[in-house]
Amino acid sequence: MLIRRLFDNPASYRNPFAELDRMRREMDLLSGNFLRTGPRHAFSAGVFPAINLTEDKDKYYIRAELPGVKGDELDIQATGKSITISGERKITPEDETAHYHRREREAGRFSRIIELPGEIDADKVEAGLSNGILTIQISKAEAARPRQINIK
């Protein structure tokens, strides 16, 4: 009778590993969230700031979205074939009694290295910040610029 109750009634059957599966899913969620946001890293590489990289005949142009960041809080470095943008985004803290329903804006330090397709002239880099958009104009190195070849 006991065997009949356990195996004949599908409602009473329970997967013995169901609890382990549930715990594994919860651990995956916990570790995934921890690794993405981390206790000290608000932004992972390649995510903030969002950028566009374009070029014309003489220059490369980088446009980066940096809402709420001031120009004096940014550090821009130019080397060989790359530009590094780093800084810190500060957000005024909410009231301690505030209960978040959604929290997507983060504060913290960030650093972004943008590899350029060709050599640059590090002495001819200009940057400007307007309405939360950082615009960097980078002159191409003479060797990297296209040359018109005349046929004789």
Residue-wise pLDDT tens digits, 15-34: 777 788 888 888 877 776 55
Q: Domain of 16?
A: 2-37
The whole-number average pLDDT for the span 122-151 is 88
Assess whether 136 and 75 both reside in one domain. Answer: yes
| Position 100 in a domain | no
| Position 42 in a domain | no
| Position 126 in a domain | yes
| Position 44 in a domain | no
| Position 150 in a domain | no
Assess whether 22 and 70 both reside in one domain. Answer: no
Residue-wise pLDDT tens digits, 49-72: 899 999 998 899 999 999 889 999
Assess whether 33 and 55 both reside in one domain. Answer: no
Residue-wise pLDDT tens digits, 89-104: 888 888 888 888 887 7
Contact (Cβ atoms closer than 8 angstroms) between residue 141 and residue 119: yes
Per the DSSP assignment, residues forming a β-bridge with 79 are 82
Contact (Cβ atoms closer than 8 angstroms) between residue 7 and residue 13: yes
Residue 87: pLDDT band (50, 70, 90) is very high
- Which DSSP state fits 26? H
Backbone torsion region of residue 104, taken as left when φ is above 0, otherwise alpha when ψ lies between -120 and 50, otherwise beta: alpha
| Position 45 in a domain | no
Assess whether 78 and 111 both reside in one domain. Answer: yes
